[in-house]
Amino acid sequence: MIVGLDHVVILVRDIEAGAAAYAALLGRKPAWRSADEGSESVLFTLANMSAELLAPAGSGIAADRIRAVLEQDGEGLASLCFRVDDIAGLRRRMDRLGLRPEGIADGDSRDAATGRTLRWTRTRAATDATFGVRLFFLEMAGARPGSDAIADAPVTSLDHVVVETAEPDRAAALYGARLGLDMRLDRSHPDWGRLMFFRCGDLIVETVCRAGKRIDPQRDRLWGLSWRVDDIEAARTRMLAAGIDVSEARKGRKPGTMVATIRDGTCGVPTLLLQPAPQRAPS
């Protein structure tokens, strides 16, 4: 019933500063700007998902809630929202599997520039049932507009989103058995711990239990993002020219891939660039 990752939410203190940072990082302009009671948001929509920057605005319950999270955790990844094709059916499944979903609610957003409106229905799992990771589920009525490129070598799509956990078997039960994502990898290494990959559309939800790192065993944590680029050296050149601190490219763990670490300009999100392995020609 989950067909992909609709968007990730990144909390920021200043929406304009966040939008400028991600325009420089992605090489793309925002596709959507909107304001709601207590918040304002900017969306960048790529080939396979959107990144929503969300900031508090004004006063009230919603604004206070966002500011409280920022005060506790700082800027960074706040939630995942999966795209589904049958919200009612998914909610019934979640209820049977102990995820205690909220009732299905209608939602909408109006783009400040064009006046266009998007509508959806959504639910969310109880956060304690997902071990501290905020998970939403959304059925869209229509398609989001894409973010046009504004520079050479833009980011094309998301490759994977990373969740840190102290309990990998518990994470496997949540993302694989309960949510129905397709497990593609379960691998351990003495240097970097245990990794599991769950296919979600054409990207990966990765869970990692890091060797030697202690985190709260009762609370998993949304951690980082890996963005795909067609040409990692061209993307690095663009980012360096924009003042972004990015490492030299190096070989990735998957054969044929190249990766580079982005050290700033991500609003607190640990971030990699990834150039996928060349596609093999059909025999």
Mean pLDDT in each 10-residue stretch from start to end of the chain (283 residues)?
96 97 98 94 98 94 92 95 97 97 96 94 97 97 94 97 96 97 94 93 96 84 97 97 97 93 97 90 54
Spatial contact of 198 and 176, defined as CB atoms under 8 Å apart: yes
**pLDDT value for 281:** 56
Residue 256 gets the label, from left (phi > 0), alpha (psi -120 to 50) or beta, of: left
pTM beyond 0.85, yes or no = yes
Beta strands at 105-110 and 76-84: parallel, antiparallel or unpaired? unpaired
Task: Say whether 263 sits in a helix, a strand or coil.
Answer: coil
Tell me, what's the pLDDT at 126? 98
- Residue 49 has φ and ψ, to the nearest 5°, of -175, 180
What is the pairing mode between strands 32-36 and 76-84?
A: unpaired
Q: Which CATH superfamily is domain 157-275 in?
A: 2,3-Dihydroxybiphenyl 1,2-Dioxygenase, domain 1 (3.10.180.10)
Domain range summary for the chain, segments of one domain joined by +? 2-141, 157-275
Quick one: pLDDT at residue 64? 92
Q: What single-letter amino acid sits at 163?
A: V
Q: For 57, list phi and psi in degrees, rounded to 5.
A: -145, 130
pLDDT of residue 280: 67
Q: Give the other-Cβ count within 10 Å of 212's Cβ.
A: 8
Arch. (CATH architecture) of 2-141: Roll (3.10)
For the beta sheet containing 258-262, the strands, ordered from the edge strand earlier in sequence to the opposite edge, are 182-189, 193-200, 203-209, 157-164, 221-228, 271-275, 258-262, 250-251
| Positions of E strands within the chain | 2-11, 32-36, 39-45, 50-56, 76-84, 105-110, 117-124, 134-141, 157-164, 182-189, 193-200, 203-209, 221-228, 250-251, 258-262, 271-275
Beta bridge partners of 186: 196
Alpha-helix residue ranges (DSSP H) falling in the chain: 15-26, 61-73, 87-96, 168-172, 232-241
